[in-house]
Amino acid sequence: MRRNCPNPAALRAEARLLTVAGFILLALGFPATLLLVAHALGPDGLAPLLPIMIGAPPIVLGYIACHVASQRLVKAKAIEAR
């Protein structure tokens, strides 16, 4: 059976890609949520759950992508320490 042992450079490249994707998702999610909250609080407001339903998925996915990227960097550091 073949064992897959990633090298630190590949892990760092993957972490960079995940970080960029996470920041893009966060950059889209936060302003969209704030804009929808502003519209929901207005006089002819939207449904109060609409900002959560539209803004939460990109924010959560962006956070998860950045979290996984940091785990990849920790793993790369551990491999290099050996």
Domain ranges in the chain? Answer: 15-81
- Written as one string, the DSSP assignment of 15-41 is HHHHHHHHHHHHHHHHHHHHHHHHHHH
Mean pLDDT of the chain: 92
Each residue's pLDDT tens digit, 47-57: 889 999 999 99
Each residue's pLDDT tens digit, 25-34: 999 999 999 9
pLDDT below 70 — which residues of the chain? 1-3, 5
In this prediction the pTM is 0.86
Cα 36 to chain centroid, rounded: 20
